[in-house]
Chains A and B, each alone.
Chain A
């Protein structure tokens, strides 16, 4: 119930194309859905996030689409650039014991944008 399923595992896109990464969850207690970008040797960096009362959020070239009834959310990267090549993790936040927020991560998608 605490899992977040992410697909695809890897994605190759041409420069200027649209990258789409999908995630699904089951636990309705999740209350926040961030996406993290990770470059090799670095920690995950928050890219964009959404709350379940919103169906879409856009920040620059990055858009999250959220379907609460289907328990699915996706990341769209418009006009993909070689600098976007990284591993992307979706995550879901749930309030843990003691009140802190715990993140449950998907398995990640390795995105390669070819020039």
Chain B
């Protein structure tokens, strides 16, 4: 079964450093998403991406965040200057079409900011 692949599985970074979280969506999917889950809390929408541009972003997705699809296969989330409160699991997801009614999530990257 096709999978969404995320790397690394765990990243530890110092406060103020830049991090890039990487995702390889399912190959024929067109819509890409990032969600995050702070430990023990619900999964929250960050951003959606289609046709090489952001479709929608949440209030969490401020100027410190950016997304990119640099080469047609990878989908990245960059946090420019990490804060302690950015510590969370970050999930990438993709879906094939609009109104597909169901994403496939990756296994996540656990980001720890120290």
Give A contacts to B, CB under 8 Å: 32, 34, 36, 41-46, 49, 51, 89, 91, 93, 95-108
A105 in complex: contacting residue of B43, B102, B108, CB < 8 Å: B43
Are A102's CB and B103's CB within 8 A? no
A101 in complex: contacting residue of B31, B42, B53, B105, CB < 8 Å: B31
Residues of A within 8 A of B108 (CB): 41-43
B31 in complex: contacting residue of A34, A97, A100, CB < 8 Å: A100
A41 in complex: contacting residue of B48, B99, B107, CB < 8 Å: B107
Indicate whether B91 reaches chain A with its CB closer than 8 angstroms.
yes
A31 to nearest B CB, angstroms?
Answer: 8
Other than A101-B101, A107-B42, give 19 A-B pairs with Cβ distance below 8 A. A34-B102, A36-B105, A43-B4, A43-B91, A43-B105, A43-B107, A45-B105, A46-B103, A89-B43, A98-B50, A99-B98, A100-B48, A100-B49, A101-B31, A102-B48, A103-B35, A103-B45, A104-B45, A106-B42
B56 in complex: contacting residue of A96, A105, A106, CB < 8 Å: A96
Are B56's CB and A97's CB within 8 A? yes
Given contacts A99-B50, A99-B98, whether A89 and B107 have CB atoms under 8 Å apart is no
A103 to nearest B CB, angstroms?
Answer: 6
B99 in complex: contacting residue of A91, A101, A103, CB < 8 Å: A101
Complex: chain B residue closest to A104, CB-CB: B45
Indicate whether B55 reaches chain A with its CB closer than 8 angstroms.
yes
Q: What are 8 residue pairs bridging A and B, where the CB atoms are less than 8 Å apart in the complex?
A: A43-B106, A49-B101, A93-B101, A97-B56, A100-B50, A101-B99, A104-B45, A106-B42
Residues of B within 8 A of A41 (CB): 107-108
Residues of B within 8 A of A46 (CB): 102-104
Most chain A Cβ neighbours within 10 Å, of B31, B54, B103: B103
Given contacts A101-B95, A104-B45, whether A44 and B56 have CB atoms under 8 Å apart is no
